């Protein structure tokens, strides 16, 4: 497991009321974080500080209480340097004081018998499944699929061989297997069905366009949205990650959005998807996708009602 120990230093005032008194340190382990600088105003500012839209911290409950309190007050958390100090600036993480970040607490068991805890910090307007109202100008969100939910839905789908055959017939007809340099097998496509349904649920709540309520359409929509730049997957940071030119998802990465994930698997999540697109462009894309879907269905003489979203149960949002 990759761990990043973050430190917040607080210098107390001396008797004269000025700085220079005792320095206190508060620390936590940063397990994973997500950046999406173009998705919110705080990320667009010119700064060397990392401003996550989502992050998960771990530590003892007592330590985390103090650490989070300082984060909420606008203090920057820093990765401590060890050994030889270079002249480069230290890596700092920042959660703006006036931002709308929410803090979700979870108590967890600790091998040492301490009161351990996890804290998830996130921007609810980006991650909430249902935004309540549709933005007339812009569609944007970040979808992070829980691994436990995806695995449960895959097991449920794999038990229905007729449904899988029906879905693969449409997937082949719209040439999803040829996406990417390597291409996708039947099992690869079926493995993406839960994420595709989850993606469609997010999208459906942010557009006025009616979407066909069928899993084969969701799979088509998901792959084409990634290919056309309506959505993007994680884009490796330059000089920080080695990119395998032959891996399956390089075609789905659109770095212009500034979307990056770091160690998201350590938080029990699978690679996510970010969307930031004008509603006018989304309207055109969805119109094309619906026409493509029904033209293919007509050729296949298939009944779309055989694969409804009701066969998948979306993960329940936790109260913050």
Give the pLDDT confidence of 201-240 residue by residue, as tens digits. Answer: 999 999 999 999 999 999 999 999 999 999 999 866 544 4
Reported confidence tier of residue 21, pLDDT bands at 50, 70, 90: low
Q: Rounded distance, CA 94 to CA 86, Å?
A: 22
Tell me which residue of 263, 231, 269 sits closest to 149, measured CA to CA. Answer: 269
pLDDT computed for residue 51 by the predictor: 94
Query: Do 182 and 292 sit in the same domain of this protein?
Result: yes
User: Does residue 318 form part of some domain?
Assistant: no
Q: Rounded distance, CA 258 to CA 77, Å?
A: 21
Query: Do 234 and 305 sit in the same domain of this protein?
Result: yes
Q: Distance of alpha carbon 231 from its chain centroid, rounded?
A: 12
Domain coverage including residue 20:
4-127
Query: Do 154 and 111 sit in the same domain of this protein?
Result: no
- Contact between 101 and 107 under an 8 Å Cβ cutoff? The reply is no
Query: Do 296 and 148 sit in the same domain of this protein?
Result: yes
Q: What is the mean pLDDT of residues 166-194?
A: 93
User: Does residue 166 form part of some domain?
Assistant: yes
User: Cβ contacts of residue 260 below 8 Å, gap of 6+?
Assistant: 34, 35, 36, 234, 235, 236, 237
Instruction: Please give the model's pTM, rounded to 2 decimal places.
Output: 0.86
Average pLDDT, the chain: 86
Residue 108: is its pLDDT beyond 60? yes
Q: Which of 107, 127, 147 is the last residue of a domain?
A: 127
Query: Do 159 and 305 sit in the same domain of this protein?
Result: yes
pLDDT computed for residue 255 by the predictor: 85
Q: Which of 77, 96, 127 is the last residue of a domain?
A: 127
What is the domain count for the chain?
2
Query: Do 275 and 153 sit in the same domain of this protein?
Result: yes
pLDDT computed for residue 124 by the predictor: 95
Tell me which residue of 73, 78, 88, 89 sits closest to 25, measured CA to CA. Answer: 78
Residue 171, token pair as written in the block: 């997937």
* Segment (H or E) for 164: helix 161-173
Query: Do 71 and 119 sit in the same domain of this protein?
Result: yes
Q: Rounded distance, CA 292 to CA 92, Å?
A: 47
Query: Do 295 and 205 sit in the same domain of this protein?
Result: yes
User: Does residue 44 form part of some domain?
Assistant: yes
User: Cβ contacts of residue 123 below 8 Å, gap of 6+?
Assistant: 39, 40, 53, 54, 99, 100, 101, 102
Q: Distance of alpha carbon 268 from its chain centroid, rounded?
A: 12
Query: Do 257 and 229 sit in the same domain of this protein?
Result: yes
- Contact between 116 and 58 under an 8 Å Cβ cutoff? The reply is yes
Q: Which of 127, 161, 176 is the last residue of a domain?
A: 127
């Amino acid at each position: 497991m990759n761990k990043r120990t973050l430190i917040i230093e607080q210098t107390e005032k001396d008797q004269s009321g000025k700085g220079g008194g005792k320095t206190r340190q508060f620390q936590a382990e940063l397990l994973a974080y997500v950046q999406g600088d173009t998705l919110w105003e705080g990320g667009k500012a010119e700064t060397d500080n990392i401003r996550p839209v989502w992050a998960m911290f771990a530590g003892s409950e007592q330590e985390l209480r103090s650490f989070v309190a300082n984060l909420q007050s606008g203090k920057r958390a820093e990765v401590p340097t060890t050994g030889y100090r270079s002249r480069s600036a230290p890596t700092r993480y920042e959660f703006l004081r006036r931002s709308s970040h929410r803090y979700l607490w979870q108590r967890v068991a600790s091998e040492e018998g301490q009161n351990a805890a996890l804290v998830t910090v996130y921007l609810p307007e980006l991650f909430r499944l249902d935004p309540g109202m549709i933005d007339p100008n812009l569609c944007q969100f970040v979808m992070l699929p829980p691994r436990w939910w995806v695995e449960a839905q895959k097991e449920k789908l794999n038990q229905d061989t007729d449904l899988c055959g029906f879905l693969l017939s449409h997937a082949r007809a719209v040439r999803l297997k040829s996406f990417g340099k390597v291409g996708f097998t039947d099992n690869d496509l079926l493995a993406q069905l839960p994420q595709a349904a989850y993606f469609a649920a997010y999208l459906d709540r942010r557009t006025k366009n009616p979407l066909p309520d069928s899993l084969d359409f969701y799979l088509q929509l998901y792959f084409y949205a990634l290919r056309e730049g309506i959505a993007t997957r994680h884009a490796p940071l330059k000089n920080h990650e080695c990119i395998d030119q032959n891996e399956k998802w390089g075609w789905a990465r659109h770095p212009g959005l500034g979307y990056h994930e770091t160690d998201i698997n350590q938080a029990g999540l699978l690679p996510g998807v970010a969307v930031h697109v004008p509603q006018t462009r989304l309207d055109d894309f969805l119109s094309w996708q619906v026409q493509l879907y029904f033209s293919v269905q007509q050729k296949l003489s298939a009944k779309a009602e055989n694969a409804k979203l009701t066969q998948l149960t979306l993960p329940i949002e936790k109260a913050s």
